[in-house]
Amino acid sequence: MAKQAGKAPTLTDVARVAGTSTAVVSYVMNNGPRPVAAATRERVLAAAAELDYRPNRIARALRSRTTGVVGLILADASNPYFGALARHVEQALDKRGKLTLTGNAGYSPDRQEHLADKFLAAQVDGLVIVFADGGADVATQVKRAGVPAVYVHNQPEDGQAPAVTADNEDAVQQAVAHLRGHGHTRIAFLAGPRDAGPVGRRRATWETALAGTGAPLLRCEYSRAAAAALTGQLISEGSMPAALITATDEQAIGVLAAARAHRLAVPERLAVISLDGTPDSAYTAPALTVTQQPLEAMAAQAVDLLLGGEAAAPPALSAPLVIRGSCGCAATDS
């Protein structure tokens, strides 16, 4: 059937075989801007099939100024939270026929800009940006280029660009309420090194909820090692609070490891709730009670927002509380 020798067949080849001009072939291929007679369409389709013709996306992109590629900039794919988000974004984009150009920026603003630059030069049709923090420079850079962009999980300071996040206020409130239900009053919060945008609002919500109780605000990098180090230090000093909400699972996992190393019983002497809810959280010891972010829904909404259509009232992205062992409830280990 299919020719196997030589170069890939082009539009012109198909036109020659079908006995038409390249224009009609193009019209057929994209149900083009002009109608084509049924009989002709058949001939074209047959010719295309015979040659195993596949349109050259590059040529199409050059002419039509749309590449069918979307850039995804994220902090770090080896963090399961971002990794899972990346996977869902990629899948949502694929469903819309788009390809995903991925870049890991680490937590460095320089690399964020570098990637944005590269992606813009590659003429992406849009950008999905998932940062842990910061990214203001990138935001203005992107806006100036006039490329549509959506921020997920965070929002640049200027707050102009559309952003998708779970309902963080609600999540924090659920966590606080649940820990209070266990009798805790001094509930500490482990935040990231800085905070801006929606993720920062987690801290703000905690602050108003716990106002006046003297519960400490802790800060460390979003890594297991950093959280473990901080926790170890606090335990040694004897200043570890009895209840803690962590901004991320990575931090919570670090806290748990340090507690174990120092023989501090969880949840008896330290109750923990984390705000991410990655798959990892179900397999820690004890399993983490979390507010589970709906990553798939967030990814879907981000893509809808970016590509338009489906603008049906964006569903509220609530992060339900998933109760496991680390908060003090009977461990429902499995």
Partner DNA sequence: ACTTCTTGTCTAATCGTTTAGATGAGAGGA
Partner DNA sequence: TCCTCTCATCTAAACGATTAGACAAGAAGT
Instruction: Please give the residue ranges that form the binding site for DNA (CB under 7 A).
Output: 7-8, 10-12, 19-24, 26-27, 29-30, 32-37, 39-40, 53-56, 59-60, 62-64
Complex with its own copies: residue 127 or 256, whichever CB lies closer? 256
Minimum CB separation of residue 149 from DNA in Å reads: 21
What residues contact 230, with CB distance under 8 A and at least 6 apart? 190, 218, 220, 254, 258
What b/e sequence results for 108-120 when a residue is b if at least 16 CB atoms lie within 10 Å of its CB, and e otherwise?
ebeebbebbeebb
Selection from its own copies, DNA, none that 251 binds (CB < 5 to 8 A by kind) is none
Report if residue 234 touches its own copies, rule: CB under 8 A: no
Which of the ranges 26-34, 255-263, 268-276, 309-317 carries the binding residues for its own copies, by CB under 8 A? 255-263
19 binds, among DNA, its own copies, none (CB under 5 to 8 A by kind): DNA
Given a contact cutoff of 8 angstroms between Cβ atoms, the answer to whether 252 and 272 are in contact is yes
Could you give the CA distance from residue 268 to residue 243 in angstroms, rounded to a whole number?
10
- What is each CA distance from 78 to 81, 82, 224, 225, in whole angstroms? 8, 7, 13, 15
Q: Is 324 in the site for its own copies (CB under 8 A)?
A: no
Binding partner of residue 157 among its own copies, DNA, none, CB cut-off 5 to 8 Å per kind: none
Is position 276 an interface residue for its own copies (rule: CB under 8 A)? no
Residue 35 binds which one of its own copies, DNA, none, with CB within 5 to 8 A depending on kind? DNA
Ranges within 201-230 binding its own copies (CB under 8 A)? 224, 228
Binding mask 119-138 for its own copies (x = CB under 8 A): x-xxx---------------
Cα gap 251→229, rounded to integer Å: 10
Query: Cα separation of 111 and 117, whole Å?
Result: 10
265 binds its own copies (CB under 8 A): no
- E strands in the chain: 69-74, 99-104, 126-130, 149-152, 163-164, 187-191, 217-219, 243-246, 271-274, 289-291, 321-322
**30 Cβ contact list (under 8 Å, min separation 6):** none
Both tokens of 243, joined, read: 């209840």
Positions touching its own copies (CB under 8 A) are: 4, 54-59, 61-62, 67, 69, 72, 76-80, 82-84, 86-87, 90-91, 94, 99-104, 118-119, 121-123, 144, 224, 228, 253-254, 256-257, 260-261, 279-280, 282-285, 287, 333-334
